[in-house]
Structure 1
Amino acid sequence: MKAIGFAGYSGAGKTTALEQVIRILCERGQRVSVVKHAHHDFDIDVPGKDSWRHRKAGAFEMLVVSDQRLALMREFGRTREELSVHEMLAELDPSVDWAIVEGFKRSDLPKIEIWREPAAAEKPRALRYPDDDAILAIATDDAACLPPGCTLEVLDLNQPARIADWMMANAARLEYTPPADQHGKEITS
């Protein structure tokens, strides 16, 4: 599986860009999984439904399966730290072609930075790439707003097919290898 992160400020257009890129990759016959960072106490379960009631009763994991989908909810409790991006990737089906990670801007995964010039009323948004060696390209709606001397490939945020083309062209260097611990063993969940 290939893995790539999409990082950028809130409101920069990450989700919209990813929605388009995912659709294009799927149309090209690629299987895509997504890891999305959520904040704190999110819930995808419907209050009052059986699975919600089982979780609220104290179940550590609740797996709901139908003939069309599977959803696993796992309660960490207050003692567990948030999973690393690598632990999350280990939870995915390894047979997918692409694992796309939205958020996790501080991870060491190869990334595309999504960047837009802020509107006049918004506070400035610094580019992350000068301080993050994992950023391989920048997707923006206005390349003229980038500082001079940017050595990264610049992708047009309004051309999601070009972003997908770039990903496919760079697939070999985006092949995911789980990091090893200090004893050389792959880190998994």
Structure 2
Amino acid sequence: MRLFGIVGYKNSGKTGLVERLVIELTGRGLRVSTLKHAHHAFDVDQPGRDSHRHRDAGARQVLVASDRRWALMSELGDAPEPTLDELLERLDPVDVVLAEGWKTAPIPKIEAWREAAGNPLLAPDDSTVRAVASDVEVTVPCPRFPLDDASAIADFILSEPA
């Protein structure tokens, strides 16, 4: 399994880049999974739905399944947030995992960067950033790709050691 992080500040283009890379990589016949780190409370469930009612009643885990997909929601309670490694262990085997977020994880990363967002680049101070995908030319100590060039970025990811 090849793991690459997609990192950057808010509004840098991370999610769009992940989306384009998933389309590109699956179009090449590769099996791809994604992980998304949220820095805030989030919910994939809807109040009033049966599964939400199960959680509200105190269920530690709720699994919802249909003929199209299944989802497992786990309540952490007072337990610490799972580590990236612990989450990776829960995924089915695939060819590529793209982890959006996890800026500080010691994994190879692509930095998404948009000039208009006004944030500093991570790459100059982070050796785990292997390449930058940006909307303008930037000087960085690693390869730089156009933010919308999913094909070239996918080639780069696949050429890096697993």
TM-score (norm 1): 0.81
Partner AA of 1:9 in structure 2: Y
- The two structures, once aligned, show a CA RMSD in angstroms of 1.3
Partner SS for 1:168 = helix
User: Equivalent residue for 2:88?
Assistant: 89
User: Equivalent residue for 1:102?
Assistant: 100
| 1:1-189 → structure 2 map (5 Å cutoff) | 1-77=1-77, 79-93=78-92, 95-118=93-116, 124-143=118-137, 146-147=138-139, 150-170=140-160, 173=161, 175=162
Q: Higher Cα Rg: structure 1 or 2? A: 1
The answer to whether the Cα contact below 8 Å between 2:123 and 2:141 also exists between their aligned partners in 1 is no
Question: Partners of 1:75 and 1:40 in 2: how far apart?
Answer: 14
Larger displacement relative to structure 2 (100-109 or 154-163): 154-163
Number of residue-to-residue matches in the alignment? 162
Following TM superposition, by how much is the alpha carbon of 1:41 offset from its aligned partner in structure 2, in angstroms?
A: 2.2
Partner SS for 2:58 = coil
Cα-to-partner distance string for 1:156-187 (whole Å, 9 max, x where unaligned): 112111111211222xx1x2xxxxxxxxxxxx
Following TM superposition, by how much is the alpha carbon of 1:85 offset from its aligned partner in structure 2, in angstroms?
A: 1.4
Partner SS for 1:47 = coil
Question: Partners of 1:29 and 1:72 in 2: how far apart?
Answer: 26
Percent identical:
43
Unmatched 5+ stretches in structure 2? none
Cα-to-partner distance string for 1:66-118 (whole Å, 9 max, x where unaligned): 122110000001x222221111111111x211110001111111100111213
Question: Partners of 1:58 and 1:40 in 2: how far apart?
Answer: 21
Detail structure 1 runs of 4+ shifted over 2 Å in the superposition. Answer: none
Question: Partners of 1:154 and 1:40 in 2: how far apart?
Answer: 30
The answer to whether the Cα contact below 8 Å between 2:124 and 2:141 also exists between their aligned partners in 1 is no
